[in-house]
Copies of this chain bind each other. A is one copy, B any other.
Amino acid sequence: MENPQHPPDSPGARPRRSHGRATLADVATHAGVTPMTVSRMLREPDRVAPETAQRIRQAIDDTGYSPNKQAGGLASGRSAIVAAIIPSVANSVFAETIQGLSDALQPAGLELFLAPNDYKLEREEDQLKTLLGWGPAAIAVTGRRHSPVALALMRQAKRAGTPVIQMWDLDARDTEFLQIGFNHHLVGVAMGEHLLACGYRDLAYVDSGVAEDFRAHERGQGLAQAARLAGAALQVLVAPPCEPMAAGRLALLKLMQQRLPRALAFANDHLAAGACLQALELGLALPDQLALLGYGDFPISQQLGRGISTMAAPRYQIGLATGQSILLALGRPLAEDQQVLDHGSLVPTLVVRNTTVAGAGINPANVAEGSSRD
């Protein structure tokens, strides 16, 4: 039971506490010390006498105390929040990035604030404004394209000493913010070069149906550049805005109505998988009649047919590396068991399977990695 005191004479003595939670002061009373000692014990245990520490620990247990992080953050000017703006969680690409980020941050006691913007660049402004209101320890955004206002907010945060990280893209000439990712144009070029090296001279790129998936567009442009330089034909098709595998099927059907190119590159593996299924069902021989090249190296690419060739994108690693960069920028130690990721390892690598090179297919039944949880 609380101890309702008589209101003193002075006009402004209005107790306001409403929640029932124990505070530092409660613990202090319980342990017979001042709040300051408890606070110290929590943050610098070495600076309190062992015996006092013991009493305080006891009091903490007795009262069920857990620190009020808002109060702590306000007082210290620091906050243990990392804010991340991503296009969508319901997309294995970013879901795994989030998981990596979380895995890096949680051991360090940093909380993750998530703001999916559904690929709407415009929403980023609001999200940044709101997130900045928490005085985050760091901010991670997706990509390098931002509205002028969003950019101004990011600059303001940077000036205030908050690390700002752009994930999933990289332009070495731009050093304004930290970047954890890779150059999508170059990946597109690499995709093109692989197809050209296989001898395919009549190419198509199937872009995702998402207008603001800039990185996919850039890969397409890289591919186009490679084709142009080699004098090969390239047409670009935008997949219909439906479920990705279905979209891949439809894209293939559409191309066949006109004239099927020799090789298709896709904005992602789901599109490629759909096209692969459709091709197999139509009796097309892969890669003899039609070559397919995906992007992402999602599990399905390993399983379908004799394996879909693809560019492996370091989904989880980008999240982990982002988290590590944040800890580094904040001068915090990484968790002991964490290897520091070499940023060179964040470059996608070509995974040649059977849809571009005959006989390159792996035996999927023997592949076992990851985990089957659901």
Residue numbers of A with Cβ under 8 A of B are: 16-21, 64, 66-71, 73-74, 77, 79, 87-93, 95-96, 98-99, 102, 106, 109, 111-116, 119, 129-135, 156, 159-161, 208-210, 213, 216, 239-250, 253, 267-268, 270-271, 273-274, 277-278, 295-296, 299-300, 302-304, 316, 364-365, 367-374
Contact = CB atoms under 8 A, between A and B. Distances in A.
A70 B303 contact: no
14 contacts: A21-B135, A66-B130, A69-B135, A70-B71, A89-B89, A89-B98, A92-B92, A243-B302, A243-B369, A243-B372, A245-B299, A245-B303, A246-B370, A250-B365
B130 A243 contact: no
Q: Can you tell how many copies of this chain the complex includes? A: 2
Nearest to A373: B210
A99 to B, nearest CB: 4
A106 to B, nearest CB: 7
- The winner among A64, A70, A161 for most chain B CB atoms within 10 A is A70
Contacts of A367: 243, 246
A106 B66 CA distance: 27
Given A102-B116, A111-B134, A115-B106, A79 B89 contact: no
Contacts of A18: 77
Contact of A74 (B70, B119, B302): B70
A267 to B, nearest CB: 6
B113 A16 contact: no
Contacts of A374: 91, 93, 208, 210, 213, 216, 244, 267-268, 270-271, 295-296
B112 A113 contact: yes
Name, among A16, A87, A300, A372, the residue most crowded by chain B CB atoms within 10 Å (CB to CB).
A372
A136 to B, nearest CB: 10
B20 A159 contact: yes
A95 B93 contact: no
B243 A371 contact: yes
A129 to B, nearest CB: 5
A143 to B, nearest CB: 13
A46 to B, nearest CB: 23
Nearest to A106: B115
Nearest to A74: B70
A210 B98 contact: no
